[in-house]
Copies of this chain bind each other. A is one copy, B any other.
């Protein structure tokens, strides 16, 4: 059971994990970054507690910690109770969600094991925007995606803003970097029996619903909004698919396009 300890002094070293969050939440290879996994708000903190990431502690105002009483019952970590003002001083900005939890990173899952029974996986290339990445994980969780694989130039899904925008679903959907040089690394997808489909707004691509993917296990390649997938990624795919769109409309936001495609592949 979590022990709840009152913290009144913002300089208290026991809450150092929460200090200056806007730099501390960066990856360890970035200046000031400690690479901890940080959850904000009751809903996301709950998902962190349920996740494989080892929780180190919580920091929150009493009312929010009270809401988490049941979740804390089986969690042998300290929970620090404080005022909103002290919390803001520690963190470096005002947090209106009133509760935070930090966890250590965990070893990424084994890609081969992830792919073995996967029916639908998302493979990302160059998705560098943390909010798009978070939204994409939320949509992946809702629409039954079994895993997300990161190709080159993707952001860190465990960055605080991605965690928040994903509503904590980056903590639930298994993800890992696709090992090996891109795009030859896609061979791993095929070796697992997946058809590699590249989502692109290009006119030459097949409409999603008539691309012959019904009943197939699919690895869906998704590129960044704007540039889209690189030519090398498109060339390496088994098939190019598109969401039929009205003339004169820019492509959809990448997370939205992904949601439509996840749905389309799920119900195809």
Contact = CB atoms under 8 A, between A and B. Distances in A.
B142 A252 contact: yes
Contacts of A65: none
A161 interface: no
A103 interface: no
Interface string A137-180: 01101111000000000000000000000010100000000000
Interface size range of chain A in the complex: 20 to 34
Given A138-B253, A249-B141, A244 B266 contact: yes
Interface stretch (A9-17, A23-31, A84-92, A257-265): A257-265
Describe A's contact surface by its main secondary structure: helix
A225 to B, nearest CB: 11
Contacts of A206: none
A246 B141 CA distance: 7
A250 interface: yes
A142 B246 contact: yes
A250 B135 CA distance: 12
B252 A259 contact: yes
A207 to B, nearest CB: 8
Contacts of A142: 243, 245-246, 249-252
Contacts of A259: 252, 256, 259-260
A138 B252 contact: yes
Nearest to A167: B250
B138 A246 contact: no
Interface of A: 43, 135, 138-139, 141-144, 167, 169, 207-209, 243-246, 249-253, 255-256, 259-260, 263-264, 266-267
